[in-house]
Amino acid sequence: MAPSVIPTTVNPDIQKERNAASFSSDEFAAWWSGGEEKLKFNRDVREYLQKDMDVEEVRQIHNKSHEEIYELSSKSAIAAARKLQRLQKERNPGGNDYWPALYDNQVMWGLVPGGNPFGVMYVMLVKALQAQCTPEQYEEFGKRIENFEVCGTYAQTELGHGTYLRGLETRADFDPKTDEFVLNTPKISSYKWWPGGLGHSSNHCMVMAQLYVDNKPKGPHMFYVQVRDEETHEPLPGIHIGDIGKKMGFIGVNNGFLGLKNVRIPRTRMLMRHAQVNADGSYVSSPSNVLTYFAMVRTRCVIAWNNAVMLAIAATIATRYSAVRRQSPINPKEPEPQIMDHVTQQMKLFPEIATSVAYRLASAHLWNLYDITLGDISNGRYERLPELHSLSCALKVNCSSDSTIGVERLRLACGGHGYLSSSNMGNVYVNATAACTYEGENTVLLLQIGRFLMKSWRAALSGAPLAPTVRYLAEVQKKPEFGSWTGTWDNMVQAMQFAAAKKTALAFKSLSSRLSRGETEETAANHTGIELTQAAELHGRAFVFSSFTDEVTGPNARTRSAALNQVLENLLELYLVKESLNHMANLLRFINLTDTDLTRLQDRLETVLTKLRPDAVAIVDGFDFSDVQLNSTLGSFDGNAYERIFDAAMKNPMNQKSVPKSFHEHLKPFMKSNI
């Protein structure tokens, strides 16, 4: 290959940006990471994991075949696991703070760029087993998964059914004569389809199937099933298993299919912490149906967090590139400026930076609620589950859709070079947009949130207490007029809550009207679906407004420097103003804003872009991504974008020989035949 043309120095334009920043990127990074100790820990582990890594092989991933990508992903994932195990033995023998705790952590990002074939095992399967197994079951087979003695995945989605779990077709019939369950996928649409790692990276899996006792349905339940021999890895009798083929993204995750034909498992392989089938065939139902799906609730928390990070990655790449790219003089007689000096470019970049921060903070609030709810469940209390389910759906939906749109906007902000595979923008985009459909298709989840809002509105009308995140509904019922628009941050939070409440009221009115005309509950909900989804989206946005404002203006501000607080205030200002403008149709419908109010919002938008301009590079530096994690020719820390683009092209396998084989085999003979 050609020698590298990448300088060892930092691009002066990007260094100038760092020198001019008004605050410390390291302080931002410590805040972003959860404290200085956490930042130091993350950097230390990341450096250890990335040491001795074949970066060049990773960068050639898009030039590999589907099978080669899987083999590289599997090799890289196992190499990372070995390193984490070594770290655990070296630094805290007998603990689990490195291994396996960090295997699904952000420090792993970039090590397996095609996606970790064993990621679902730790993101979902281990957590599901911990939540759904009895202690005896977890000791028997759950620990083996946690210790990576065997490999597995969480098999729920089918070819014919995804989000609608009650429609799953995989059956588990109890046979009292043998004290076993008999599992079947009766037709093609019943095949498990999509689970990460199922194709060739699992010899066990947790199968979600419809339980039948005496041929009577008991609903979806979880079953632990061995699918491959632990020594040979060959599929077991009755198992039809493989890879579903190439996808837009997550190209190394080995998503698979699974067919089952009269596969027998012991009765004790049904996960029985909450629901049980006894040897005599008697059935004990779960105290809460949502407990069956609790692993999905946790995964939606993960998605909201991860998609916020994906947006931050794209924002880092585009912002750094915009600092070193010079184009189109603003004044004809002056030199070409950094494209970040164009206000229209700032409008592409800075709102996405603010949005990534907003969703990261909202996700932190969501995780806090998750931890509290998990503690309640262990004590037999389930009243928080509906709120957690609704909020996890809301953040999963809004963050996945906003990050997908945002990543694409940032790719376009990089011009033509953003279209290069080496920019990594395409990979970030396809990973972000996947979250719009996995773990619950977004529209279906919005409808579930809508139902929660209808129940909450009805409860508020009766004077019943509401969950904390929907108490604003009762406040709007008591005070149906908004009052004055002042444009303060608190006023803007209240305005978004007011719009969400009014949209909820309209949906409730439409639903009630349809019910009064004789429509069934289900039909009326279907006909009110558009209004329900609109109310649900605004409910989620109101939560993000509130959580962002609380973090920036609340007591945590006292722990930060004045300089960092000013930057966070600017980001909050930008987020609230741009989102209010984006949803102005809803605000104007319910709140009296004047033309002067709208003009002031536009002025505030342009003013805060100007304030953020000197700090933009320092902010994305504060996201603290390594070059390995970014994996981008455009977004490296040194800012040498052109040289890295050129270097990547020179290392393209097609350029390793001057004449392609097709010239002699096809092109030359064809041209000669035309003489």
Binding residues: 157, 196
Name all contacts of 656-664 with Cβ < 8 Å and 24+ positions apart: 656/1
Q: Which residue from 313, 180, 298 is spatially nearest to 628, judged by alpha carbons?
A: 313
- The answer to whether residues 547 and 365 touch, using CB atoms and an 8 Å cutoff, is yes
Please report which residue ranges of 198-250 form alpha helices under DSSP H. none
Give every CB contact of residue 359 below 8 A, 6+ residues apart in sequence. 304, 307, 308, 311, 395, 398, 399, 402, 403, 544
In the chain, how long is the greatest CA-to-CA distance?
90
Backbone angles phi, psi at 104, to 5 degrees: -110, 20
Neighbour count for residue 246 (Cβ, 10 Å): 10
Amino acid at 502: K
- The answer to whether residues 493 and 546 touch, using CB atoms and an 8 Å cutoff, is yes
- Six token digits for residue 46: 């990341």
Give every CB contact of residue 455 below 8 A, 6+ residues apart in sequence. 386
Per DSSP, what are the bridge partners of residue 407? none
Could you give the CA distance from residue 625 to residue 618 in angstroms, rounded to a whole number? 12
Q: Which residue from 109, 104, 183 is spatially nearest to 148, judged by alpha carbons?
A: 104
* CA dist list (Å): 526 to 104, 533, 536, 539, 657: 38, 11, 15, 19, 60
Q: Is 569 a catalytic residue?
A: no
- Three-state secondary structure call for residue 670: helix
Q: Catalytic residue, from 439, 531, 537, 579: name it.
A: 439
The string over 53-71, giving b where at least 16 C-beta atoms fall within 10 Å of a residue's C-beta and e elsewhere, is: beeeebbbbbebeeeebbe
Per DSSP, what are the bridge partners of residue 184? 171
- The answer to whether residues 350 and 573 touch, using CB atoms and an 8 Å cutoff, is no
Q: Binding site for FAD, residues?
A: 157, 196
Three-state DSSP string of 363-397 = HHHHHHHHHHHHHHHHCCCCCCHHHHHHHHHHHHH
- Three-state secondary structure call for residue 207: strand
Active centre residues (catalytic) = 439
